[in-house]
Every structure is written in C-alpha cells, then in structure tokens.
C-alpha cells in the first residue's frame, strides 16, 4: 500500500466521492483509471491501493494524539488493503474524541476506540469507488 504524500494527491482524492462516514471519520475515494496508453495517472505513479490521512489540529490538539490516530489508520488500512482495490483513499478526522473520556493521548482505550471505528469505516466501503 502506497501513502499519499503531496498536496495535489490529497486534493484529487478529496474532490472524489465520500464513500463512508462514522461519528469521527470520513472516507474519501478516487478510482484510479489508467490512461489511454495504459500508463497510470501522473499523480499516482504506482498501481494498487493508496492511503492518506488527515488529522487536523482542530480535532486533535496534541501532536502525540494526531500521530497515534494516523498510526492506527495505517495499521487498519493495511488489514483492509485487499478490499480497497485500485483506488486512492483519504481518511479524514471530522470530529474530536472527548478528552474527558480519553484523558491520555496514547491510552489503550483511545486506540481501541479508534481501531473499532476505523474497522466500521473500512467495512462500509464494500464495493470500490
């Protein structure tokens, strides 16, 4: 699985469809169609699944929390790689986790909550975008 790195890659995927939502996350998808000559898009040079993560400071103030959420997204995304197909995906955090319920940024309770919600999110995709 390739990771999205550049701003144009993220913008292209975010312009695509939102294929799934959970209370905290949204999953955006862009199907990667090869060009007329069979070459891949210039933004996405390799074939296969691409995954990017957006965790804004607005919803996760502490860097350690943002990094923990990103790691969880990539780990869960790796397990669902086969079902993602030939497409680029962006997982976007769209609301924050309650700091009263999860006081520690790296608590196991937060990791379990994030993983379960991400499993629901990737499970909702079903067919490719």
36 pLDDT higher than 80: no
Q: What is the pLDDT of residue 16?
A: 87
How does pLDDT run across 98-115, given as a tens digit for each residue? 888 888 878 889 999 999
Token digits for 49?
A: 């699944």
- Report which DSSP code applies to 41: P
Residue 42: pLDDT band (50, 70, 90) is confident
85 pLDDT higher than 90: no
Grouping H, G, I as helix, E, B as strand and the rest as coil, residue 21 is: strand
- Report which DSSP code applies to 37: T
Multiple choice CATH, 2-125, 3.30.230.10, 3.40.30.10, 3.90.650.10, 3.20.20.70: 3.30.230.10
Lowest-pLDDT range of 40-44, 65-69, 92-96: 40-44
Residue 117: pLDDT band (50, 70, 90) is very high
Residue 64 contacts by C-beta under 8 Å, 6 or more apart in sequence?
105, 106
Overall pTM > 0.75:
yes
With beta carbons less than 8 A apart as the criterion, state whether 19 and 25 touch: no
Nearest Cα neighbor of 21 from 128, 110, 122 is: 122
Residue 35: pLDDT band (50, 70, 90) is low
């Amino acid at each position: 699985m390739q990771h999205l790195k550049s701003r144009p890659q993220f913008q292209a995927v975010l312009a695509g469809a939102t294929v799934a939502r959970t209370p905290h996350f949204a999953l955006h998808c862009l199907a990667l169609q090869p060009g007329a000559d069979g070459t891949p898009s210039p933004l996405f040079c390799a074939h296969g699944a691409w995954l990017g993560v957006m965790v804004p400071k607005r919803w996760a103030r502490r860097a350690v929390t943002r990094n923990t959420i990103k790691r969880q997204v990539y780990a869960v995304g790796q397990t669902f790689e086969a079902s993602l197909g030939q497409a680029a995906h962006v997982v976007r955090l769209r609301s924050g986790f309650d700091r009263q319920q999860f006081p520690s940024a790296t608590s196991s309770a937060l990791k379990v909550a994030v993983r379960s919600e991400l499993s629901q999110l990737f499970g909702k995709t079903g067919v490719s975008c």
